[in-house]
Chains A and B, each alone.
Chain A
Amino acid sequence: MGLIRAVLSVAFRQNMMATKPAGHGGPLMLFHIETGGCGGCGMELRALASAPYDLGGAGFGLASTPAGADLLLVSGPLTRMMAPVLQAAWEAMPEPKGIICMGDCALDGGMFGENYATLGGLERRVTIDLRLPGCPPTPADVLAGLVSLLGSSVAEATPPV
């Protein structure tokens, strides 16, 4: 009985928040890479990818490999250790492709800046297609930013959290 209730409540909450994107075929696939930092941006992205948010309903999915992704979503400052990993992920993505920077660290290094361990953010290094500032940006902020890529209404896609 508990199990049936659980199934119904998740389905109900997600359907309430689903917003189908206008004029876009399949979902835009994001490959998330955390290049350093505290992990807070990653936690908020995870929250966005879980109930009660409906990332899929808004027209986005999380890719498990860069080869299956349209957009590279970077969070955290670029640590020297992760720079080659980021480069490899970018090169493995098919064209056309773009970069999203989530959080102050990914943009300009945030709290961590540029030092012996980190190269700072991506702002001065590459062309960024979507900037999501904040430390961390909330799931609603991220969803609003993502939806703006599709040209849909932000209000429609933001769950009442």
Chain B
Amino acid sequence: MEEGCRLSGRVVAGQSVAHQSAFCMAVENACGQGVEEQAGLGRVALLEMERVLHHLYTLADLAERAQAPLVAAHCMMLREAMLEQIAPVTGSRLLMDCCRPGGVRLAEAEPLGGVCDSLAKLGQAGQEALLELWESFPGLSARLTGLGVTRAEDLARVGLEGPVARAAGQDCDTRRVLGLYDGLWRYTAGRQSGSAADRALLLLDEVAESLTLLGRIAPRLGDAAPGREALTLPDAEGMAMVEGPWGRVAYWVQLHQGRLAQVFCHNPAAAALLVFEETVKGQPVEDMPLVASSLGVSAAALDG
């Protein structure tokens, strides 16, 4: 079980919390056991921290490829400033191994609420400055506008959701149906045209949205350390899903004789590749890395 959990966190870096929390929830569902409220809130905090860090990394990559290294540097500097606070608590800069079946595992669990609060404050000021820079940096918006426009029928055909679909005006977010987010989350992001420019601005919107959520969750997390439930493993199956940084991540597990017998994982990587193949038709070759980055095409996730 430990090995399975560790491996799920290494399907694709930058999405470890999404994979590990979906894996752990699937195991808990198979066991017919939930986690205590603090642990559930801790997972939400980790999922949203991961989304912020991931989006800043993606924005830096996009800016770099669009010949805006200064903007890229700012994205990475904001990310590092946040990591200074996050890493001591999680014990991992990439938030690996923070979720385990039955709860969470943190290097220092007590300050999680305080970190959420200070991230919200630090990040909101940083996000506003970054948005201003993104929109005013010479040529950046022009470079991305009209680039890699996704078509609604392609998205629907391959079932790609997440930020790529949201930037094309679709209302799809697994957080809407997850009990974990009750009273915490409301949908505020939304772009319409489906271009790389829309996707970048949507990621910036989502950074602000996740930071607001972290600010809201902070007082509920307080100083209490999230605990961990001991699980009894029956012969059973379980399934669970969360909204990862690039969309829905779902796990199905089968337990047999107290062990993990089978695991199936779904993530948006294959669908992103199919949409990429449609989207780049007729586009200049030099634009391909930029379009791939804005659609979340990842070799690691594809072979994960």
List chain A positions with a Cβ less than 8 A from chain B.
2-3, 5-7, 9-10, 13, 34, 36-40, 42-44, 46-47, 50-52, 79, 111, 117, 135-136, 138, 161
**Knowing that A3-B136, A47-B79 are A-B contacts, what are 12 other residue pairs whose CB atoms are under 8 Å apart, sorted by A's residue number?**
A2-B129, A10-B70, A13-B77, A34-B299, A38-B10, A40-B10, A44-B94, A47-B76, A50-B72, A50-B73, A51-B74, A52-B77
- For A117, the closest partner residue in chain B by CB is B303
Q: From residue B126, how far is it (CB to closest CB) to chain A in Å?
A: 11
Considering residues B12, B60, B71, B300, which has the most beta carbons from chain A within 10 angstroms of its beta carbon? Answer: B300
List residues of chain A with CB within 8 A of the CB of B288. Answer: none
Complex-state Cα separation, A79 to B301, whole angstroms: 14
B137 at the interface (CB under 8 A from A): yes
Considering residues B74, B77, B83, which has the most beta carbons from chain A within 10 angstroms of its beta carbon? Answer: B77
Contact assessment for A2 and B93 in the assembled complex, using a CB-CB cutoff below 8 Å: no
With A135-B96, A136-B94: A38-B300 Cβ-Cβ less than 8 Å: yes
B132 at the interface (CB under 8 A from A): yes
List residues of chain B with CB within 8 A of the CB of A40. Answer: 10, 13-14, 16, 94, 96
Complex-state Cα separation, A36 to B304, whole angstroms: 9
List residues of chain A with CB within 8 A of the CB of B96. Answer: 40, 135
Complex-state Cα separation, A38 to B299, whole angstroms: 9
Contact assessment for A52 and B94 in the assembled complex, using a CB-CB cutoff below 8 Å: no
Contact assessment for B60 and A50 in the assembled complex, using a CB-CB cutoff below 8 Å: yes
With A38-B11, A44-B93: A7-B76 Cβ-Cβ less than 8 Å: no
List residues of chain B with CB within 8 A of the CB of A13. Answer: 77
Q: From residue B130, how far is it (CB to closest CB) to chain A in Å?
A: 9
Q: From residue A65, how far is it (CB to closest CB) to chain B in Å?
A: 16
List residues of chain A with CB within 8 A of the CB of B70. Answer: 3, 6-7, 10
Contact assessment for B74 and A39 in the assembled complex, using a CB-CB cutoff below 8 Å: no
With A10-B73, A161-B80: A39-B136 Cβ-Cβ less than 8 Å: no
Q: From residue B132, how far is it (CB to closest CB) to chain A in Å?
A: 5
